[in-house]
Amino acid sequence: MIHTTVGQLGHFFVILSFVTALVATVSYFLSALGSGSAVREKAVEEPQLAYAGESGFGGKTAKRKRPLQQTGNLPQNDKDDWRTLARWAFYIHGAAVIGVASSLFYIIYNHYFEYHYAWSHSSRALPVQYMISCFWEGQEGSFLLWLFWNAVLGAILIRTSGKQWEAPMMAIFALVQAFLASMILGIIFGDSFKIGSSPFLLLTEAMPDAPIFTADPNFVPKDGNGLNPLLQNYWMVIHPPTLFLGFALALVPFAYCIAGLWRNQPLEWIRPALPWTLIGGLVLGVGVMMGGYWAYETLNFEGYWNWDPVENAVYVPWLVLVAALHTMLIAKRSSTGLKMAIILTISTFVLILYSTFLSRSGILGNASVHSFTDLGLSGQLLLYLLVFVVLAAVLATIKWKYIPVDTEEASVYSKEFWVFIGATVLCLAAFQVIATTSIPVYNKVLESFGKVSNMALPADQVAHYSKFQIWFFVVIALLSGVGQYMWWRKLDNKKWDALITPGILTLLISAGLIAFGEMKNPVYMALLVASVFALVSNGTILLGIIQGNYRLSGGAIAHIGMALMLVGILYSAGYTKVISINNSGLLISKQDEFTKDNNRQNKENKLLWLNQPETMGVYQLTYRGQRIEARDVPGYIPRRDVEVIEGDFHGIAQRDIEQNGKVYYKKGDTLALYPENTYYDVEYREPNGKIFNLYPRAQVNERMGLLASPDIRHKADRDMYTYVSSVPDPSAENTWEKTETYSVAIKDTFFLNDYVAILDDVIRTNEVEGLEIGPTDAAVRAKIRVLDKNGEHILSPAFVIKNRMVAHPAEVSDELGVRIQLNEIDPRTGKFSFAVNRTQRDYIVMKAIEKPLINILWIGTLIVAIGFLIAAVRRYREFGKMQNKSAA
């Protein structure tokens, strides 16, 4: 059955959201024009806004021209009518966006695979939380998620921004929404020109030439392609929404900034925008780090940051947003800070649009593992970017004359100077990253002019970016300490004496850490010293602040968190220790992945045979076999205990499924599984005899090959990070070699797959798995001892006569790679004939590394978030008080 109604309803909501966004844009624009938003310039000499007793950038109170508002040209009722219409249009737009999202999720949740989006990204095997991830795996869903957050924030701003800001600011908001809604319109003109890509396309519309639809126009697949296995992680349920909320929050200060320039009030927008900028920095920063933790838990590149172009494209706007935040703090005391705040606030939003263009236009090609394929929207994305670049640049140029000029030059002893320098360094760090990341863009531009470019991204991107970024953050850490002392006026009368104590403490602590840790790399030493200085100086300032008013502590707390993050990055990345050293002298693999870089992976991986202990550092490792995950059974169960039903997400229990003394399924029961993933049970035995197990995951994916995800043992001072580098295909049947026959007597010795085997005995038995032995039946079982270097294995093949029929149940040993059957018993000679087949023994190739002090990185991230939150609450309260005074 084809369910077309829900798709038609969803597409109607898309069109409604686009139209209402346009109506809201025009209505808010006309309301802004008619409400006196345009302010004529009137020169009035008055003191620059500053706190009592504080001077401007140059150390003296600066004079600025303050513009006065003019009354509107339209009648009062016209103004109210346009605003009322705009509000209703935006509210309807928000409801339509919710309607689009609900329709799409309904299609995914109900497995309507006749829709291309559901078929491409979902499957019946997925649990609900991963169906949510399916929602934003595709481009259309990610645009829809962005639309949703903007609609939510717009509704909040309508209620909280105040009448003077609502119309000009929401005009920008609604225009952005119109562009985003156009991305999912899916309207085609002619043969090639289209606006947007609809998430509600049927398979027959998306693939009209597929042979199956010629044979059966109503064909509906029984299942979908499923979610990218790398995205089947709980962080992918919360990371994208957080990141897109950060994108949406970055629009708020941009909209306030444009509104301020439009109203000829280039300073007044700072106060209402500041709390939103802080929340945006918090959410976007946390979203970026969530992505890092997802990569750490899910990908096997042994870290949390790989300087992938799409990672960079999100990291750069966050750096610029933080720089904009700092310049906003000094804007009311410094025209230089104000100008930079305007430029950086605009740049933050433009960079977010640019990152969207990079990741969704297909321009990165194979340069990024994160980038989307081109859906034919690259021109539309470029137009989206250029419209706002041109709009902001033209408006800022025209209104630049309204920005006051300081009468004094900057003083190195003013706090504004140091904050400005810190913001500048952040911008330089951002520029270094985006300049290299944009190399594919340069090539594309040159190609469009008929030129051939040979520029390529660095071969070792981690080394390239890190060598620059380390030094930028050495400077930023030092500036965060000095800047805090300047901000809180701890350096008086142009003397630096107050920094002597934190400087001495820094040198003592750093010297101890360098000596104790045997640190020899001078670059690491510089980063450590700078980070410790930031910790000591900001910690000293924090102690002084919390004794007065803790609400002022946000900046110091955020800087302490940043310093802790740098320490965590330094140790976890700089002092990662590989402990799975291959001491056998044998090459594990001749594949390029293992032999490149002077056989690096051959030297740093361990080959483990099933149930064969191996020494690794201080640990004794034993691979205990393959495991599978059932939907409602805790932990993992042996794969051999379940017969997986091909093409389904169920299996048949081959024996009772029991965990922690509780039987969840009886033999023969059907149970729900996550069949794509195989977990490999690796037992670690510590020198004190304590045992723990790790379960690295692998999935042999038809589209992407072997996808391995690590398992991590978290300790207070380090993480044990383990993943498999090579495994036999868990979904493949064993390939058995041709049968070999052995005829032996009791106590005879023979060779079994290169092992010494001894037939100890053949005894009568009444128990044979899978067969019921009656009183008229006969069964015997052989006892064969197989010796290897770690001990012995017992094989017990049976010989059964039941109802005058002979059965030879085979016994299979995965450890030995052997299948053996007792085929004949010759009572005259006393010899027993065994049929033996050999196969590849079960094994894994695994890598284990230790990452010291990585928890300091995650703790630092949390502390940065707390600092941003405290500062945001404080600035919001200040804005609320100002609104109340204005209303009074």
DSSP 482-545: HHHHHHTT-S-TT--GGGHHHHHHHHHHHHHHHHHTT---HHHHHHHHHHHHHHHHHHHHHHHH
User: What confidence score (pLDDT) does residue 552 get?
Assistant: 85
Give the Cα separation of 699 and 705 in Å (integer). 8
Tokens read off for 509? 């602590």
Encode 371-401: b = buried (16+ Cβ within 10 Å), e = exposed.
bbeebebeebbeebbeebbeebeeebeebee
Tokens read off for 279? 């929340």
Q: CB under 8 Å to 881, separation ≥6 — which residues?
A: none
Note the Cα 161 to chain centre separation in Å: 32
Q: What is the pLDDT of residues 217-246, one digit of tens each?
A: 888 888 888 888 778 888 888 999 999 999
User: What confidence score (pLDDT) does residue 397 get?
Assistant: 93
User: What confidence score (pLDDT) does residue 2 get?
Assistant: 66
Q: What is the pLDDT of residues 526-569, one digit of tens each?
A: 999 999 999 999 999 898 888 877 888 889 999 999 999 999 99
This prediction has a pTM of: 0.87
Give the Cα separation of 303 and 241 in Å (integer). 23
User: What confidence score (pLDDT) does residue 626 get?
Assistant: 93
Sign of torsion over alpha carbons 548, 552, 556, 557? positive
Note the Cα 398 to chain centre separation in Å: 40
Q: Are 865 and 561 in contact (CB under 8 A)?
A: yes
Residues of the chain where predicted confidence (pLDDT) is lower than 50: 37-79
User: What confidence score (pLDDT) does residue 60 get?
Assistant: 38
Q: Which amino acid is at 408?
A: E
Give the Cα separation of 242 and 363 in Å (integer). 25
